[in-house]
Chain A
Amino acid sequence: MIIQLIVTGISLGVVYGLIGMGMVLIFRAVGIVNFAQGDFLMLGAFICFAFNQKMGMPIWLSFAITAVLIGLSGIVFQYITYWPLRNAQDKAIIVSTLGASIALREMTKLVWGSTPQTIDPLKGGIVKIAGAFLQWQYVIIIIFAALLMSLVYFLLEKTLLGNIMQATAQDKYAASLMGIPIAVAIALTFFISMLITGAGGVMLAPIFFITNTMGVLAGVKAFAAVVIGGFGSVQGAIIGGLLIGLIEVFAGTYISTTYKDTVVFAVLIISLLVRPQGLFGEKIAEKA
């Protein structure tokens, strides 16, 4: 029982971590909070549904196509909501992403309807680990998300491309003096961010149903993960995501199913009060 709970919690947690990582990448690159991140999770699930169920392609192929398409849609999203407003105040960009979130939800409803849908699991069946029976899907989620996270980490820390993106994130003006094409670096950041978020959606889809509002709560929980971990920290997003996933599952089992989300957000408020900068965040002095 306890092993099943832990595995379920971790597999939910890594998906929250993936979305959170996507948010952190965007936040580090352009300094805004994307309120439409959760909706890209939903969009990813729907695109995969179109290839897998409507066209009958095998799940892995549809997953790969979805990953590329959702990344590209991230670039389009960036050119519509962020780029024209890059010199405006932050709150205008936040409202613009809120508008995008409404538009995305309505668009998917128009295209795919409002009945809950489902897709094939990445691997069906049940596996026995340490005396506990688990669905393969949960195990696959953990393995695959870990793979994706380490890939993004490797890309950011060890490659030239990662250096370009980090330089852009730290100081756009200095980066442009070094001959770095900022527009390309920002577009690439959005590509990767949306790709991992959409992948999270494809992995969650066989467990939950796909609806056009599935991204709302997942997005808010990813926020919680990012804030607990420390805003702007990639490791923080992952650890925060795992914490949120585990708290959600254990609170749902041992406290109350109906109040599990309430417990999650109560933990968020408590953690904000105890450690506002998050687990991995640095305390930045207020500038006068």
Chain B
Amino acid sequence: MGRINRKNLVLLFLGVLVLALLINLPNTSSIYMVRVLNMTMITYLAVLSLYVVFGMAGQSSFAQCGLMGIGAYITANVSTRWGYPPILGMAASMLGTALFAFIIGFALFRLRRFYFSFSTIALMTILNGIFANWTKGTGGPVGMGNLVQFSVGNFIFNTEAKYYYLILGFSIAASIIIWKLFRSPLGRSFMAVRDNETAASCMGVNILLTKNIAFAISGLLCGLAGSLFAFLSGYISATSFALPQSQLYLVVIMIGGSSSPIGALIGSILINLLPEWLRFLKDYMMLIYGVGIMGLMIVLPEGLVGGGKDLYAKLIKWKRSRADAEQGL
């Protein structure tokens, strides 16, 4: 635990305030808005998975949405088709997706830098092809509908608000775990690999295994996100897990800033809520959205968090120079 000083107290106070606000949110919002918030948090989980593999380990993956799809289809098969308890389906999704990512990682991480990115584009397209055509396992082009609701024992999650608390709980838990990871030796080795592979391997970091573990952790998160998506929407099809969606996750993390998990949060909120606020633009919305991404990258190439840090540093410098000037007088 950190020392109790003024800064920590303010942070604690803010944290409690935000938590109270988040818990009260479903009571004050419409059902539609709660659905939007649920989707935002699922996006956040997916983007957080990208943060592990891209922000920490420096490997830009275009396959996150495909991994999410694997998670969703495992949940649908285990819980609905075979009738096991939903919580088992969720666990199977997380472990199965992580395992898939770990195994496929041994092949893909033999490739470096943007060659790896290309291979993930290929992986994404292959997965999408399988989702869309494998009628026995994924329902083929029709998709899978009438999925069971999530339940623990006799408690069934059958309203948007109940799902809100469920997903909120998972999001907070995932954020804490990733934050711990960020500070852990494993997280440090991810970042060492990102910054300089040669130097990292000289320090005794096993590069292939480290990247694989990062990909497996991101697979775990994707599996969770996909599973929650399947329970929440009750219907999944291949169109939900396509390459453009994966590209969007990369855009989200770059807009937020890939240097910290907060960037993932800000990016997901922006990308999901902005379309709601800009609804009056109607047909022009997506156009402005695309142009906005370009504009934001031009103004803030480091993302919102990076840009904010820059601004803060400049402010401090400006204050200091002012103070120096006054002392000089």
| Residues of chain A whose beta carbon lies under 8 Å from any beta carbon of chain B | 33, 35, 80-81, 84-85, 88-89, 91-96, 98-107, 110, 216, 220, 223-224, 227, 231, 258-259, 261-262, 265-266, 268-269, 272-273, 276, 286, 288
Contact = CB atoms under 8 A, between A and B. Distances in A.
B112 interface: yes
B298 A84 contact: yes
B297 A95 contact: yes
B286 interface: yes
Contacts of A100: 290, 294
Contacts of B83: none
A101 B251 CA distance: 12
Interface string B106-139: 0110111011001101110110011011000000
B74 interface: no
A227 B133 CA distance: 26
A258 B258 CA distance: 37
B114 A272 contact: no
B254 A91 contact: yes
Interface in B90-119: 107-108, 110-112, 114-115, 118-119
Question: How big is the B interface, by class?
Answer: 35 or more
Interface in B202-257: 243-244, 247, 250-251, 254-255
A103 B197 contact: no
A112 to B, nearest CB: 13
Contact of B287 (A81, A103, A269): A103
9 contacts: A91-B258, A93-B297, A98-B293, A107-B287, A110-B283, A216-B244, A258-B133, A262-B126, A269-B107
Contacts of B251: 95, 98-99
Dominant SS among interface residues on chain A: helix
B60 interface: yes
Nearest to A267: B122
A84 B110 CA distance: 34
B289 interface: yes
A129 B115 CA distance: 41
A216 B124 CA distance: 13
B129 A261 contact: yes
A266 B289 CA distance: 33
Contacts of A105: 286, 290
B254 A95 contact: yes
A85 B297 contact: yes
A95 B250 contact: yes
A99 B292 contact: yes
A216 B297 CA distance: 22
Given A259-B133, A265-B126, A269-B123, A92 B118 contact: no
